[in-house]
Structure formats: structure tokens, C-alpha cells
């Protein structure tokens, strides 16, 4: 399967996002009204709006922000060596300072005519969220994201969730579930995506979020290798770039 996809021409990406403010009360009055208007149809009646904001704002580009972007790629080996899977993260409290080096990385080393981005639900979440936050921060849009004129088969994204759907529109499968059913060994981690806002705003632990984001990038790479019927990455083939 996916014989046309060359894993060495992919940039694996995962993004972690949080609400822009730790408390709903810290939003401006106008943004509070806009949040209510945006989410009124979805909020359960028994959930206070303050709690709903903290739980859900991180998935909306207008109300959330990016705190970590992790990328992974197969680096060219030295003579006589195997390929290494290199992982690097951009993270911090200053969103623009997180986004800008990621943009520069894309435009300098991963142009869409040579590379595709790969992620889990990347077409529905990661790329749209990043693009919106790049615009809001007044930063230059990377060439990889300028896809409005592309034909569907030219869009430079490989989405493992879309591949797993096999044409089904209703299905959503988490990366953790997909990794489990494909018998991919667990990467040791003590949190899940629902905890990112708490770890960021309450625990002030960006390092923990970085580690979680990097494990997701590795999981996506392993899933794609499994799709292609190739051997999974071994520990000694993974290199973390500080």
C-alpha cells in the first residue's frame, strides 16, 4: 500500500495548542460574546461556559494558540550508514517565536515541489490551525501552505487519518487507537491531548508538552511505515535535535 509515497520525501508534523487565556474571564468582553456565539450550538447545558472555554478553545484558531510544533524527517545518511529519523521541536510561550523558525524551516528545506507534510488529521486540524495563527501573527505564509490553486492530487499533505478512513466520511480514529490496533509499540508518555491545556496553564510545563508532541510525530511515522509494510523505526534510528 502507498507504494507511490516515499517516506524520505515527507516532513512529519504535529502541533500542540492551548486556549489563549487561562481563564474565560480574561477575554475581552467582545471576545467573550464571540466565543458564546461560536460555540453555543455545541456546549452542553450542564457545562459552565468557563469550563467549556478552557476545555475547547485550544482547537479553534481564533481562540487558541500554538505552543509546540514538532517535526520529523529521514536524514540523509553518511556513507555506509542507515537513514536516521531526526526529530526537532519549536516551542515556547511566544507564539510568533514558535511559528517563525518553523516557517523558515519549511521555506528553506521543505518546498512543496520536493516534499509533502505528513500528519494525523493534518488536513482538518494542524495545517488550517497553523495557517490561521500565522496570518493572525502577521507572519509570512510558507509556500507549503499556499494550496488554494492546487488540484486535489497536487496538495502536498499526506494524512494518516484520511488514509485509514478508506473513503468513509463519518469515521474518526485517534492516533493512539490507530497505533494500538496496528500493533505499534507504545512510546512511554504520561499524558494525552486532553491534558495539554492544564499542563501548560496550570503546571507551566512546556518540556512535558514538547515530549508529548514528539512522541506523536514518531507515532505518525511508525503508522505510515506500517501502512507501507516497511519495518518500524528502532530506537537507535531516532535522533532528537536539541
- Over residues 29-84, the pLDDT tens digits come to 999 999 999 888 888 888 999 999 999 999 999 999 999 999 999 987 777 677 89
pLDDT at residue 131, rounded to an integer: 96
Q: Degrees (nearest 5) of the Cα angle 74, 161, 47?
A: 120
Mean pLDDT of 190-211: 92
Mean pLDDT of the chain: 91
Distance from C-alpha of 183 to C-alpha of 242, rounded to nearest angstrom: 29
pLDDT at residue 29, rounded to an integer: 96
Query: The whole model's pTM is what?
Result: 0.93
The dihedrals phi and psi of 200, each to the nearest 5 degrees, come to -75, -55
Mean pLDDT of 1-18: 92
| pLDDT category of residue 190 using cuts at 50, 70 and 90 | confident
Mean pLDDT of 12-17: 97
Of 135, 63, 56, give the one whose Cα is nearest residue 99.
135
| pLDDT category of residue 113 using cuts at 50, 70 and 90 | confident
Question: Domains, the chain, ranges and CATH?
Answer: 7-20+63-241 (3.30.420.10)
**pLDDT tens sequence across 128-171:** 999 999 999 999 999 999 877 777 777 889 999 999 999 887 77
CA dihedral sign, ordered 116, 157, 62, 210: negative
pLDDT at 227 over 70: yes
Amino acid at each position: 500500500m502507498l507504494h507511490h509515497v516515499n517516506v524520505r520525501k515527507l516532513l512529519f508534523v504535529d502541533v500542540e495548542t492551548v486556549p489563549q487565556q487561562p481563564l474565560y474571564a480574561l477575554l475581552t468582553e467582545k471576545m467573550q460574546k464571540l466565543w458564546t456565539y461560536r460555540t453555543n450550538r455545541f456546549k452542553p447545558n450542564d457545562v459552565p461556559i468557563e469550563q467549556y472555554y478552557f476545555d475547547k478553545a485550544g482547537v479553534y484558531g481564533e481562540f487558541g494558540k500554538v505552543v509546540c510544533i514538532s517535526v520529523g524527517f529521514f536524514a540523509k545518511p553518511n556513507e555506509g550508514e542507515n537513514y536516521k529519523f531526526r526529530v526537532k521541536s519549536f516551542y515556547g510561550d511566544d507564539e510568533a517565536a514558535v511559528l517563525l523558525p518553523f516557517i523558515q524551516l519549511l521555506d528553506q528545506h521543505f518546498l512543496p515541489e520536493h516534499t509533502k507534510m505528513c500528519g494525523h488529521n493534518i488536513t482538518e486540524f494542524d495545517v488550517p490551525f497553523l495557517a490561521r495563527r500565522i496570518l493572525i501573527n502577521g507572519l509570512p505564509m510558507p509556500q507549503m501552505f499556499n494550496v488554494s490553486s492546487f488540484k486535489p492530487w497536487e496538495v502536498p499533505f499526506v494524512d494518516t487519518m484520511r488514509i485509514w478512513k478508506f473513503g468513509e466520511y463519518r469515521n474518526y480514529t485517534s492516533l493512539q487507537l490507530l497505533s494500538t490496533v496496528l500493533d505499534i509499540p507504545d512510546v512511554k508518555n504520561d499524558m494525552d491531548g486532553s491534558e495539554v491545556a492544564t499542563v501548560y496553564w496550570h503546571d507551566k510545563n512546556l518540556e512535558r508538552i514538547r515530549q508529548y508532541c514528539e512522541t506523536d510525530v514518531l507515532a505518525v511515522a511508525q503508522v505510515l511505515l506500517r501502512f507501507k509494510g516497511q519495518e518500524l523505526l528502532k530506537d537507535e534510528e531516532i535522533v532528537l535535535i536539541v
